Chains A and B, each alone.
Chain A
Amino acid sequence: MAASENVLHVEHVTMQFGGVVAVNDLTLDVNKGEIVALIGPNGAGKTTAFNVITGVYQPTNGRVQFAGKTIIENHPKGKVKKNYMGDPALIYPGSIVKTPDKITQLGIARTFQNIRLFKAMTVFENVLIATHMRSKADVFSATFGVNHKEEMANRELAMELIDMVGLGDAADAMATSLPYGKQRRLEIARALATKPQLLLLDEPAAGMNPQETDELGEFIIKIKNDFDLTVFIIEHHMDLVMSISDRIYVLNFGKLIAQGSPAEIQKNQMVIDAYLGAGDTN
């Protein structure tokens, strides 16, 4: 992918919890049509970065732009202002806070590291839920079935997605009854049902065996092409990361220590040290 349209632009984002800096001055870019990976040892701040991008956490300082528009911006306030540990020269003026549901509506969908499916619902209902936010029906027309057409279209979309991730036969099973790997696929189907432009995958291969991991890699490339997506992925399986990513960012202790193509990252001494030093290569 040659330099193209920017989808996600994270600028000097710092996330500080009390005296702990979970993400320190993170700047990165994800361009349209790319698969970009964010890697790093456990506790490096990868998921925190995702949580900032999706609005779960409000960053202490920094700015996040999506498709050229600023969606999140903040500067140190209140108690944190006094003991802010970042660079004071890089403090942002504005304060734009968006809740996660708003950010999903803008077109950023995500999956979770520790699968978060709706436990008391079937596979089908889990995916159908994601169509609610784009439904136009108000509560009265939805209750009395005036929006029948829309509801049917939503159901069809949900079923198509379930078929696509290979869960068509289990559509009426409870989500939690699925094996681990299938639950992860279901989460991806659910995220796709929100019709995103950018898909954030948080350790989608966790707990999968090598064969499942290979399949997942092909699957991610397939959905990226079929749905015209941009994918930003956190992953520990290095084989997967190296085979599917266009570019890789490496975090350690909240700080970006390297970025580049898979080949460059594999040779980078700092990355090797970070992984071996932390003793966690997975």
Chain B
Amino acid sequence: MILMKNRFYSPDNAGGSKIAGREKAAAGAGGLVPGSSGHAYQKKADPNKKRNTILTIIAVVAVICLMAFYQKNSSDHSYAISIIERSAVYVVAATAMNLVTGFTGLFSLGAAGFMAIGAYTTAVLTIPVATRPSVYYMNGIAPWLENLSLPMPVAMILGGLIAAGFAALIGIPVLRLKSDYLAIATLGFSEIIRTILAAPMMDRITNGSYGLNNIPGFSNLFSPLIIAAICVAVIMLLLHSSYGRAFKAVRDDEVAAEAMGINLFRTKELSFVISSFFMGISGGMLALFMRSIDTKTFQITMTYNILLIVVLGGIGSITGSIIGAFLINGGQEWLRFLDEPLTVGGVTIPLFRPGFRMVIYSILLMVVVLFWRRGIMGDKEFSWSRLLGLFHRKPAKGGDQ
């Protein structure tokens, strides 16, 4: 327990410096006039609010324009588009995992299982009825399923709900465990789900080891991005509500949270179920992105990939998870040149061969983790002030104020 607490959430060590910084910033803003109490419960206005809003609008417009450009020239940029779509899938998965791991302090490794439920539900319900006989040519299709088809969003939400239902059941025994034990138990359940999906008894629904294909893909680049944006927005709203605060309270100190009248089990279960709902959604997105799935897609490595994104981005930071998802998915692809043979001045450098990419990739990950122990964002969220602060740090040291 202590080990996990430190590795996955250590509010104590970095606390000192961060707090001092915050206080100074608040004092500098002139908001803390002694004796000016009263309606202080409204957060003090940020003097740079206007600038930040403008920057945000510019950034959003720029991203939309870039995406529109890719979408318009989709044939030339299919590679970039596939990276962005994959990243969008992982944004949802990583944010959902962060909700449980980073904000509620539950180290759950069940991601792949819940994603599998979402993916299979979406796939089974959206494969065009006309092509189903060819998909299920080996085992045949269950009669009730033959003509059962749902629109994509409905199928995805249903996938999320089924994943959430499973999570609710699994949560009852499992959430009584702590840290490492919880991780092992959820990992086990994730494998059980995967095995059930591959079981011969399920052949006429999941097509067993043959997997499912002919899944309709996303019609354009915007749909996965919009779905991801909605999911992230809902999770952020949840975290800012009183339930979100209860999650953080349970994470920070279970004994104190209970003394505040917060029911531990119910709070953990709620977080776990909501997280699994979004895992299910992201599984559905993955099915639509990959267009063909089988149970091998959802092995433990998938959970580890998501965990990697969460840790790299910063445990307890939603924007960290978003940045992490794009970095990990992009990084794996950008380094692809390392796998091709490289010839410099007539000499073929022996290192550049298939597989070298993953070596460099792993080294880069280690470097990042060494230099940013708490992930890229720590437990903070992105803010323009902090980003611009990175560029202004040196002159500020010189001596303004």
Whether A associates with B in a native complex is yes
A177–B41 CB distance below 8 A = no
Interface 9-mer from B219-227, B261-269, B290-298, B350-358: B261-269
B243–A119 CB distance below 8 A = no
Q: List 5 A-B contacts (CB under 8 A).
A: A118-B248, A130-B260, A132-B249, A133-B260, A154-B242
Q: A119-B12, A155-B41, A174-B18 known; A132 and B252 CB under 8 Å? A: no
Size class of the contact patch on chain A: 35 or more
Q: A118-B248, A176-B15, A176-B19 known; A112 and B256 CB under 8 Å? A: yes
- Which residue, of B20, B242, B257, has the highest number of chain A Cβ atoms within 10 A? B242
**CA–CA, A133 and B258, complex, Å:** 10
Main secondary structure of the interface of B (DSSP, over half): helix
Q: Closest 5 CB pairs between A and B? A: A133-B261, A159-B41, A177-B19, A104-B261, A142-B241
Which residues of B lie under 8 Å from residue A130 when comparing CB positions?
Answer: 260-261
A169–B238 CB distance below 8 A = no
B242–A118 CB distance below 8 A = no
Does any Cβ of A come within 8 Å of B61's Cβ? no
B260–A194 CB distance below 8 A = yes
Which of A112, A142, A158, A176 is close to B41, meaning CB atoms less than 8 Å apart? Answer: A158
Q: A133-B262, A144-B237 known; A124 and B256 CB under 8 Å? A: no
Which residues of B lie under 8 Å from residue A25 when comparing CB positions?
Answer: none
Which residues of B lie under 8 Å from residue A207 when comparing CB positions?
Answer: none
Size class of the contact patch on chain B: 35 or more
A118–B249 CB distance below 8 A = yes
Does any Cβ of B come within 8 Å of A229's Cβ? no
Within 8 A of B (CB), among A123-178: 124-125, 128-135, 137, 139, 142-145, 151, 154-156, 158-159, 163, 168-169, 171-174, 176-177
B243–A120 CB distance below 8 A = no
**CA–CA, A215 and B255, complex, Å:** 28
Which residues of B lie under 8 Å from residue A129 when comparing CB positions?
Answer: 245-246, 249, 257, 260, 262
A100–B259 CB distance below 8 A = yes
Which of A99, A139, A194 is close to B263, meaning CB atoms less than 8 Å apart? Answer: A99
**From A100, which residue of chain B is reached at the shortest CB distance?**
B258
Does any Cβ of B come within 8 Å of A64's Cβ? no
- Which residue, of A112, A137, A142, A156, has the highest number of chain B Cβ atoms within 10 A? A142
